[in-house]
Amino acid sequence: MTDRIHTVPTEPFDGQKPGTSGLRKKTRVFMQPRYVEAFTQSIFDAIGGVAGKTLVLGGDGRYFNDRAAQVILRMAAANGAARMIVGQGALLSTPAASNLIRRRGADGGIILSASHNPGGEDEDFGMKFNGPNGGPASETVTDAIFERTRTIREYRIMDAQDVDLSRLGEVRLGDTVVEVVDPVADYADLMAQLFDFAAIRSMFARGFAMRFDAMHAVTGPYARELLENRLGAAPGTVVNATPLPDFGGGHPDPNPVWASDLVDLMMGPNAPDFAAASDGDGDRNMILGRGIYVTPSDSLAVLAANATHAPGYARGLAGVARSMPTSRAADRVAAALGIEAYETPTGWKFFGNLLDAGRVTLCGEESAGTGSDHVREKDGLWAVLLWLNILAARDQPVDAIMTDHWARFGRDFYSRHDYEAVPTERANALIDRLRGMLEFLPGQKFGELTVAQADDFSYVDPVDGSVSQRQGIRVLFTDDSRVVFRLSGTGTEGATLRVYLERHAGPHADHAQDPDQALGPVIAAAEAVAQIREHTGRDRPDVTT
Ligand code: G1P
Ligand code: ZN
């Protein structure tokens, strides 16, 4: 057996540094000889080896998913792993992988995904490591992985044919058991424990109509099983349900830009009652009602305010957490419920400690991510099911639920402007300039708005005391409007500048205003503070969500 195990020399590759969510690069970068191998061995080495360990493996089905999975299996075998639990066809949504790691008591998992980024030979690919709690590796672990990538000189791999991942069951690769599992079953069972399936089923039976757009990505099989098979939604409710290696040529990103067909449907005369979409790897969600788009920040707040309708949350919430750029709508709900609200840096990994410590039950990000303590990742279908549970319990349409919510808590008008593929030096110059101005900003007027406070967000993890600095420039105005500037940590080309804009309108204000109009003064102040045009050379954002 051992003669099949080879130690292969390699040079370290530059830039194998995990970002906001694992290592993300152009697919062709990952396709270079030894690239996946060097990164995989670095993960294994950084976690103290995988001898005798059990890992979960799966991905979102994008181009190169199957090839990378086979390499990782051969390497896990050569490194002495006891068991590899792999989704059939090397598929696993990110939340389903998180659930499997937890349910099976695995030592961690490798997820192959670049999330909502497009897939294909000329597009993007990604790899990330999740720890034994099922969540994205902490910064300590990702730093250790990166350090290892800089010094790695060899990797171990077994000579073997591809494992047949189309067949459920166990096979052996050397001494390693490769267990191919149904990627949907355990996850669907977990959802059935959390939500009132009987109530949702009876809502569908009464004629409630919805559309779920899987965007040709991994949630297709999950949504079919849950919505159509288990909950009785009409056949055809789930569209674009077959995962494709290039996601049909689009961006599998559930937002009003990339899922514009769904938005058009919901704003048109033939809109069903409810619509939703999820992203490449199934952790994001978009929520729409007839004639209304619910921003992710509002969705988190509504879910927090209504979660007790679902059996899994009937005992109430321990607390809520949101990433810093997410609107403060959820904080208002937490204050009303008398529970703790936490503000963390961007990226799901910062929620892990709070969830593990039982300090929060729900978390969310403005980037279409919502989740709870049921797994350690954000979870697109979970959010859709919690919405369905709430709609069934309240027996009201989405727009009425939103109107009620704003009348109670006020409305946080919100938008994010992205400037993509900006030359890195220019984007850095914009942020550096803002950093240099921070102490002088309070008291200055920009158009109608006066700065109350400004800082570069830094976070002290309340559980382990670890500090994360330089997480985004926050400018708060005296009328409680806010703008945040930060550079993306997931892009694969140049820099992406994200400008997060928000303005609070109290419970008695006009909530029916057009968000762009309501945000007008904040948008103008953001330009005046940061001189975005001058720095980026762009006169408008590439993507507005
Ligand atoms: C983006 C989102 C962030 C999310 C991450 C992974 O990161 O903004 O909220 O956690 O993708 O899905 P960014 O590109 O801004 O670093
Ligand atoms: Zn994703």
Tens of pLDDT along 46-60? 999 999 999 999 999
Domain co-membership, 364 together with 395: yes
How large is the average pLDDT for residues 87-113? 98
Number of domains comprising the chain: 3
Ligand 1 atom at shortest distance from the alpha carbon of 486: 15
How large is the average pLDDT for residues 78-93? 98
The CATH number of the domain holding residue 509 is 3.30.310.50
Domain co-membership, 121 together with 264: no
Report the percentage of the chain scoring pLDDT > 70: 99
Res. 20 pLDDT band, cuts 50 70 90? confident
Res. 489 pLDDT band, cuts 50 70 90? confident
Q: How far is the CA of 448 from the centre of ligand 1 (A)?
A: 31
Q: How far is the CA of 138 from the centre of ligand 1 (A)?
A: 15
Res. 21 pLDDT band, cuts 50 70 90? confident
pLDDT at residue 537, as a whole number: 92
Domain co-membership, 144 together with 234: no
Q: Does the structure show a pLDDT above 80 at 318?
A: yes
Domain membership of residue 274 as a residue range: 187-409
Q: At what angle do helices 424-437 and 520-530 cross, to 10 degrees?
A: 100
Ligand 1 atom at shortest distance from the alpha carbon of 20: 16
End-of-domain residue from the set 409, 441, 466: 409
> Taking every pair of C-alpha atoms in the chain, what is the biggest distance, in angstroms?
75
Domain co-membership, 316 together with 204: yes
End-of-domain residue from the set 380, 409, 438: 409
Ligand 1 atom at shortest distance from the alpha carbon of 365: 9
- Residue 115 is a catalytic residue: yes
304 Cβ contact partners less than 8 Å away, ≥ 6 residues apart: 317, 320, 330, 333, 334, 337, 362
How large is the average pLDDT for residues 371-383? 97
Domain co-membership, 238 together with 166: no
Q: Does the structure show a pLDDT above 80 at 96?
A: yes
CA separation for the pair 99, 357 (Å, rounded) = 18
- For ligand 1, residues with CB inside 6 Å are 20-21, 115, 323, 346-348, 365, 367, 369, 488-490, 498
Q: Whose CA is nearest to atom 11 of ligand 1?
A: 490
Name the pairing type of β-strands 340-344 and 362-365.
Answer: unpaired
Domain co-membership, 209 together with 244: yes
How large is the average pLDDT for residues 390-401? 98
Catalytic one among 42, 93, 113, 115?
115
What are the residues facing 112 on neighbouring strands?
59, 127
How large is the average pLDDT for residues 467-494? 92
- Which of helix, strand or coil describes residue 535? helix
pLDDT at residue 2, as a whole number: 56
Pocket test residue of 278, 279, 470, 490 for ligand 1, highest count of atoms within 8 A of CB = 490
Pocket test residue of 346, 376, 417 for ligand 1, highest count of atoms within 8 A of CB = 346
Domain co-membership, 21 together with 79: yes
Q: Summarize pLDDT for 266-314 with one digit per residue, the tens.
A: 999 999 999 999 999 999 999 999 999 999 999 999 999 999 999 999 9
Res. 3 pLDDT band, cuts 50 70 90? low
Q: Summarize pLDDT for 135-179 with one digit per residue, the tens.
A: 999 888 999 999 999 999 999 999 999 999 999 999 999 999 999
- Which of helix, strand or coil describes residue 451? strand
How large is the average pLDDT for residues 124-144? 94
Please compute Rg for the chain using Cα positions: 23
Ligand 1 atom at shortest distance from the alpha carbon of 496: 14
Q: How far is the CA of 368 from the centre of ligand 1 (A)?
A: 9
Q: Does the structure show a pLDDT above 60 at 1?
A: no
Nearest to 61 by CA among 102, 123, 120: 120
Domain co-membership, 34 together with 177: yes
Q: How far is the CA of 447 from the centre of ligand 1 (A)?
A: 30
3 Cβ contact partners less than 8 Å away, ≥ 6 residues apart: none
Domain co-membership, 25 together with 133: yes
Q: How far is the CA of 62 from the centre of ligand 2 (A)?
A: 12
Q: Does the structure show a pLDDT above 60 at 404?
A: yes
Q: 458 with 468: CB under 8 angstroms?
A: yes
Domain co-membership, 381 together with 507: no
The CATH number of the domain holding residue 35 is 3.40.120.10
Q: Does the structure show a pLDDT above 60 at 65?
A: yes
CA separation for the pair 350, 458 (Å, rounded) = 12
Q: 289 with 262: CB under 8 angstroms?
A: no
Prediction pTM value = 0.94
Q: Does the structure show a pLDDT above 60 at 531?
A: yes
- Which whole-number Å values give the CA distances from 444 to 239, 438, 500, 524, in the listed order? 50, 11, 20, 14
Q: Whose CA is nearest to atom 6 of ligand 1?
A: 21
End-of-domain residue from the set 161, 183, 205: 183
How large is the average pLDDT for residues 395-407? 97
**Residue 129: which region, alpha, beta or left (left: phi > 0; alpha: psi -120 to 50)?**
beta
The ligand with the least distance to the CA atom of 347 is 1
Domain co-membership, 415 together with 351: no
Structure tokens at 423: 């030359």
Q: 212 with 240: CB under 8 angstroms?
A: no
How large is the average pLDDT for residues 248-269? 94
Q: DSSP class of residue 313?
A: G
Q: Does the structure show a pLDDT above 90 at 230?
A: yes
For the chain, the average pLDDT equals 96
Domain co-membership, 134 together with 237: no
pLDDT at residue 453, as a whole number: 97
Lowest mean pLDDT among 32-36, 37-41, 508-512: 508-512
CA separation for the pair 398, 388 (Å, rounded) = 10
CA separation for the pair 120, 103 (Å, rounded) = 32
pLDDT at residue 354, as a whole number: 96
